[in-house]
Amino acid sequence: MGASIMKSLLVAFALYLPAALAAQGGMPADDAACTAPAGWDEVVARDPDFVVFGELHGTREAPALVQSLICAEAKREQRMLLAVEHSSWQNAAWQEAWALPHDAFRAALPDLGWRGRDDGVASKAMLALVTGAHALKDQGAAIDIVAFNGARDDAQRARFNDLPAQGPHEAAQAENIAEAAALKDYDRVIVLVGNLHAEIAPLSIGGPDFDPMAVRLRSYGSVLSLGMRHAGGENWSCQLAPGTKLAPGQEVTDDMITCAASRAGAEGSSDRAPHITVGNLAEPQLARRFDGTFWLGPISASPPAFPPEK
């Protein structure tokens, strides 16, 4: 095929893609929904093996930013792996579903850890991200997915069992992402995960220090980890029901938990549209935790895509 013909085909694909996705329900039909945020060019210039977005679960805005970024990179013919914080033991089923036509994929999703889940990881915004990425793939974009959360089997669990505190979970997350990334020659590996897992220095949660996932991931390649900043609003989260009092040593049971839209105080400030900042972070404590940030502005809660039946 001649170079001019190939160039024409690529241009036609880029122009056709957003409209085709909108028709499938995978992506809104506006340019902003298929545009990388300001600052992404700095990430591209650094060309890390893994780009990690550490989010506050349960917002509309964080998955939407990643969704628009993936669409923009698909227009540039980038080969991508999207890593989502769903159970790794179900990843084989995710791969089977990912190979299906788009309508069949959407029908299969509820049984891949979504149905009846009431937290922010299985939100409507996360569903839009995953189905949007699959719609891109169904139209010819080179996009794969991996569900990486937690140990996938007893062998992996035993391999990391000697690590302190939450270390085994973090190490399994990192290994699952790295092994999926090694299967193909990707231009971008994009990870969306809770912000604790995205931190770049050892931390403690009332016990021994452990290495978060992003720290472990650096043993497999270069990592650029971005922490979420926002102007406040709401996110969907699960917490102890108001008035619940636990006796010493008492276990938390499901009936003590309530999941709903919750107020979230501002973290940072900016008068700019959503954007990415790499390095040069003004707050020393933030610079210790992340390589950069992604700013979302006001946030709003995204409820479960397939909530439990009442």
| The predicted structure's pLDDT at residue 249 | 79
| The predicted structure's pLDDT at residue 243 | 83
| Residues of the chain above pLDDT 70, percent | 90
At 199-229, the pLDDT tens digits run: 999 999 999 999 999 999 999 999 999 999 9
| Residues of the chain above pLDDT 90, percent | 80
Q: 21-242+253-295 architecture in CATH?
A: 3-Layer(aba) Sandwich (3.40)
CA 225 to chain centroid, in Å, comes to 12
Least confident window among 23-37, 219-233, 246-260, 267-281: 23-37
* Residue that has been written with the tokens 């939450």 in this structure: 166
**Gyration radius from the chain CA atoms:** 20
Strand order in the sheet with 188-194: 143-149, 80-87, 188-194, 50-55, 223-229, 292-295, 275-278
| The predicted structure's pLDDT at residue 66 | 99
Average pLDDT, the chain: 91
| The predicted structure's pLDDT at residue 280 | 83
Q: Is the per-residue pLDDT at 29 higher than 50?
A: no
Confidence category of residue 18, pLDDT binned at 50, 70, 90? very low
At 274-304, the pLDDT tens digits run: 999 999 888 898 999 999 999 999 999 999 9
Phi-psi region of 68 (alpha: psi -120 to 50; beta: other; left: phi over 0): alpha
CA gap 57, 192 in Å, rounded: 10
| The predicted structure's pLDDT at residue 25 | 45
Phi-psi region of 234 (alpha: psi -120 to 50; beta: other; left: phi over 0): beta
| The predicted structure's pLDDT at residue 30 | 58
pLDDT higher for 248 or 264?
264
Q: Is the per-residue pLDDT at 28 higher than 80?
A: no
Contact 148, 173 (CB under 8 A): yes
Considering Cα of 226, then 232, then 237, then 242, what sign does the dihedral take? positive
**What are the residue boundaries of the structural domains of the chain, listed by start?**
21-242+253-295
Confidence category of residue 108, pLDDT binned at 50, 70, 90? very high
Confidence category of residue 309, pLDDT binned at 50, 70, 90? confident
- Give DSSP secondary structure letters for the chain: --HHHHHHHHHHHHHHHHHHHHHHTSS-SSGGGGSPPBTHHHHHHH--SEEEEEE-TTBSHHHHHHHHHHHHHHHTT--EEEEEEEEGGGHHHHHHHHTS-HHHHHHHGGGTTTTT--SGGGBHHHHHHHHHHHHHHHTT--EEEEEEES-SSHHHHHHTTTS-TTHHHHHHHHHHHHHHHTTS--SEEEEEEETTTT-SS-B-SSSS-B--HHHHHTTTS-EEEEEEEB--EEEEEEEEPTT--PPTTPPP-GGGEEEEEEEE--BS--SSSSEEEES--S-HHHHHH-SEEEE--SB-B--BSSPPP-
What is the pTM assigned to this prediction? 0.89
pLDDT higher for 252 or 188?
188
| The predicted structure's pLDDT at residue 32 | 72
| The predicted structure's pLDDT at residue 6 | 37
Q: Is the per-residue pLDDT at 27 higher than 80?
A: no
CA gap 53, 296 in Å, rounded: 12
| The predicted structure's pLDDT at residue 7 | 39
